[in-house]
């Protein structure tokens, strides 16, 4: 939140440029700028959806003031900020992507709300803000005017500097999405409670469980762009010399920035034994011919929906015998998991189906002595090698809807329109003395993004091959 006064104080830039501004220059800077207001603007494509989403939220909280900030940028050092990403709930409800913005649903009587987006509009030329302020548009680029934003977003927009006064004028009990804007939280101090705000966060998260058409189209595109990023990586992978994991990471990042906004999470470019470290984002190793490369990466679209895809590929282009055995077992488990994704199934069914299959394969390789697969599964012994859950919801966040009620999510049934990952894996740590030496350092995961349809599912990331022989043929085709 920024200063609530209509004419903000000017924070002078520290780079010396504005020191010693003469009256003549200040006067000159006030004049000679063309009016760039755009009068013909169509609403953003998600505007129809955001109105429905806000109506759904409104219906759940009659008579309450609801506040959802986009968040403030985090300072990296001095006047440099980290790249800003708005809070997912704010994006879901507005389609807007700007910083320091706040969506407010003001109660209108016993039921219903007026939704207002509080935004930073154009910066003033008259008071010099546009060039003398740290975040003036001369430095940061043109922003939409409030009127332009009303057309684009399809809801009333007000200057965010008037927010504190507007909040103070309301006497309704309030709820705020916490941890995004300390200024907004302090403006509401005494009017919200930690308990009610926690419930609000859970509710917002649950709203996003079932995706609408717009979101499904975004996720589909995210998967398509991600597939192109994986192809880019295969093209830079050396077959004779090692390829730095950082080059792999950087190659994928170029695709993410070309076709989308960013990567949706830190790229895991894990070669050889690094693949057994599930959160390997250091990416400071080398992918050598003979290694497997586990690449877990996703393009985030310009409207902030992300794919989450993993392929484990042989750097040389051909799986070794043991690598193929492990890979094919993971593929088999993933097939069993995907087959369990359908409306009405329990959320956990796909996890159990895949894990059961992994336990059977691991047992058949003699890794648990005389124990049967049933016993291994019952005791959970396979988990030494499978480590993680088999998947999660996907959408604006890579681990989407993470705060939603368990009975709607992990303890609930799947519904058409949900999108989740199915990502079984086998990971033999390099120092695991309980497995034969040749297994050590092998890590395989296959991860796809699965849409629950009316009668089953659709694999949104099917553009990338998964069967071991098809992976080899795909790599050979890309390498010519």
Choose the contact partner of 232 out of Mn ion, ligand GLY, none; CB within 5 to 8 A by kind.
none
The residues with which 458 forms a beta bridge, in sequence order, are: 451
Site string for Mn ion, 378-417 (x = CB under 5 A): ----------------------------------------
CA triple 317-434-242, angle to 5 deg: 25
Question: Binding to ligand GLY (CB under 6 A): which residues in 20-49?
Answer: none
CB of 332 to Mn ion, least distance (A): 19
Task: Give the N- to C-terminal CA distance of the chain in Å, as an integer.
Answer: 55
The residues with which 280 forms a beta bridge, in sequence order, are: none
Q: Which is nearer to ligand GLY, 97 or 281 (CB)?
A: 281
Q: Tokens standing for 451?
A: 């849409």
Q: Tokens standing for 164?
A: 């504190």
Alpha-helical (H) ranges within 237-320 are 245-259
CA 116 to chain centre: 25
Residue 131, classed as helix, strand or coil, is helix
Q: Which is nearer to Mn ion, 183 or 298 (CB)?
A: 298
By CB under 6 A, is residue 398 in contact with ligand GLY? yes
Question: Binding to ligand GLY (CB under 6 A): which residues in 405-434?
Answer: 423
- The number of helix segments (H) and strand segments (E) in the chain equals 16, 19
Q: Tokens standing for 30?
A: 């006030």
Q: Which is nearer to ligand GLY, 105 or 420 (CB)?
A: 420
Helix axes 213-236, 245-259, angle to 10 degrees: 140
Question: Binding to ligand GLY (CB under 6 A): which residues in 431-470?
Answer: 447
Q: Which is nearer to Mn ion, 146 or 209 (CB)?
A: 209
CB of 248 to ligand GLY, least distance (A): 15
CA distance 422 to 466: 12
Q: Tokens standing for 174?
A: 């309030």
Q: Which is nearer to ligand GLY, 107 or 424 (CB)?
A: 424
By CB under 6 A, is residue 64 in contact with ligand GLY? no
Indicate the helix (H) or strand (E) that contains 262: strand 262-263
CB of 77 to ligand GLY, least distance (A): 28
Say if residues 315 and 239 touch (Cβ distance below 8 Å): yes
Residue 366: CB atoms within 10 Å:
10
By CB under 6 A, is residue 265 in contact with ligand GLY? yes
Q: What is the DSSP letter of 458?
A: E
Q: Which is nearer to ligand GLY, 221 or 280 (CB)?
A: 280
CB of 256 to ligand GLY, least distance (A): 13
CA distance 18 to 33: 19
Sort 176 into a burial class: Cβ within 10 Å, 0-12 / 13-18 / 19+: buried
Q: Which is nearer to ligand GLY, 99 or 310 (CB)?
A: 310
CB of 414 to Mn ion, least distance (A): 17
- Residues 6+ positions from 169 with CB-CB distance below 8 Å: none
Q: Tokens standing for 293?
A: 């490369």
Q: Which is nearer to Mn ion, 226 or 421 (CB)?
A: 421
By CB under 5 A, is residue 185 in contact with Mn ion? no
CA distance 101 to 120: 7
CB of 445 to ligand GLY, least distance (A): 8
Number of residues that bind ligand GLY (CB under 6 A): 7
Q: Which is nearer to ligand GLY, 181 or 296 (CB)?
A: 296
Q: Tokens standing for 224?
A: 């398509």
CB of 419 to Mn ion, least distance (A): 12
Choose the contact partner of 249 out of ligand GLY, Mn ion, none; CB within 5 to 8 A by kind.
none
CB of 31 to Mn ion, least distance (A): 54
Of 45-53, 269-277, 292-300, 467-475, the segment contacting Mn ion by CB under 5 A is 292-300
Phi-psi region of 291 (alpha: psi -120 to 50; beta: other; left: phi over 0): beta
Coarse DSSP helix, strand, coil percentages of the chain, rounded to the nearest 5 percent: 40, 15, 45
- Residues 6+ positions from 295 with CB-CB distance below 8 Å: 230, 233, 248, 252, 267, 268, 269, 270, 310, 311, 312, 313
Site string for ligand GLY, 294-313 (x = CB under 6 A): --x-----------x-----
CA distance 380 to 387: 10
Choose the contact partner of 218 out of Mn ion, ligand GLY, none; CB within 5 to 8 A by kind.
none
Q: Tokens standing for 371?
A: 């124990």
Question: Binding to Mn ion (CB under 5 A): which residues in 438-457?
Answer: 447
Choose the contact partner of 259 out of Mn ion, ligand GLY, none; CB within 5 to 8 A by kind.
none
Choose the contact partner of 123 out of ligand GLY, Mn ion, none; CB within 5 to 8 A by kind.
none
Question: Binding to Mn ion (CB under 5 A): which residues in 295-334?
Answer: 296, 308
Choose the contact partner of 265 out of Mn ion, ligand GLY, none; CB within 5 to 8 A by kind.
ligand GLY
Q: Which is nearer to Mn ion, 305 or 368 (CB)?
A: 305
Choice from 421, 429, 461, 468 touching Mn ion (CB under 5 A):
421
Which residues here bind ligand GLY, judged by CB under 6 A? 265, 296, 308, 392, 398, 423, 447
* List of residues contacting Mn ion (CB under 5 A): 296, 308, 421, 447
């Amino acid at each position: 939140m920024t200063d609530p006064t209509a004419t903000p104080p000017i924070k002078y830039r520290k780079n010396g440029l504005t020191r010693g501004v003469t009256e003549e220059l200040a006067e000159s800077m006030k004049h000679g700028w063309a009016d760039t207001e755009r009068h013909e603007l169509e609403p953003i494509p998600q505007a129809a959806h955001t109105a429905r989403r806000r109506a759904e939220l409104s219906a759940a909280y009659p008579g309450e003031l609801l506040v959802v900030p986009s968040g403030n940028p985090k300072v990296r050092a001095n006047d440099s900020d980290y790249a800003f990403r708005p809070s997912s709930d704010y994006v879901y409800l507005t389609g807007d992507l700007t910083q320091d913005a706040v969506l407010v649903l003001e109660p209108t009587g016993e039921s219903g709300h007026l939704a207002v987006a509080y935004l930073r509009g154009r910066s003033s030329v008259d008071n010099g803000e546009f060039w003398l302020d740290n975040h003036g548009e001369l430095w940061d680029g043109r922003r939409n005017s409030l009127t332009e934003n009303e057309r684009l977003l399809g809801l009333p927009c007000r200057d965010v500097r008037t927010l504190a006064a507007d909040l103070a004028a309301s006497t309704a009990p309030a709820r705020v999405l916490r941890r995004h804007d300390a200024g907004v939280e302090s403006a509401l101090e005494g009017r919200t409670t930690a308990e009610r705000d926690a419930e609000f966060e859970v509710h917002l998260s649950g709203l996003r469980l079932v995706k609408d058409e717009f979101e499904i189209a975004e996720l589909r595109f995210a998967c398509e762009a991600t597939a192109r990023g994986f192809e880019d990586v295969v093209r830079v992978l050396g077959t004779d010399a090692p390829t730095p994991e950082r080059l792999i990471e950087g190659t994928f990042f170029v695709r993410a920035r070309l076709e989308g906004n960013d990567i949706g999470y830190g790229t895991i470019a894990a070669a050889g034994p690094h693949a057994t470290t599930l959160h390997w984002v250091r990416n400071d190793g080398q992918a050598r011919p003979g290694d497997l490369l586990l690449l877990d990466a996703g393009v985030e679209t310009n409207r902030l929906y992300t794919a989450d895809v993993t392929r484990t590929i042989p750097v040389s282009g051909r799986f070794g015998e043991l690598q193929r055995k492990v890979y094919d077992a993971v593929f088999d488990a993933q097939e069993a998991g995907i087959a369990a994704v359908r409306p009405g199934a329990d959320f956990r069914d796909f996890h159990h189906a895949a894990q059961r299959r992994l336990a059977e394969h691991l047992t058949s390789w003699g890794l648990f002595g005389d124990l049967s697969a049933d016993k291994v599964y019952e005791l959970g012994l396979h988990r030494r090698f499978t480590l993680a859950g088999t998947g999660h919801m996907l959408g604006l966040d890579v681990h989407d809807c993470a705060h939603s009620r368990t009975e709607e999510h992990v303890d609930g049934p799947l519904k058409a329109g949900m999108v989740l990952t199915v990502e079984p894996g086998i990971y033999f740590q390099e120092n695991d003395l309980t497995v034969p030496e040749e297994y050590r350092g092998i890590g395989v995961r296959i991860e796809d993004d699965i849409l629950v349809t009316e009668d089953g599912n659709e694999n949104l990331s099917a553009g990338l091959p998964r069967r071991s022989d098809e992976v080899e043929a795909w790599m050979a085709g890309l390498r010519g």
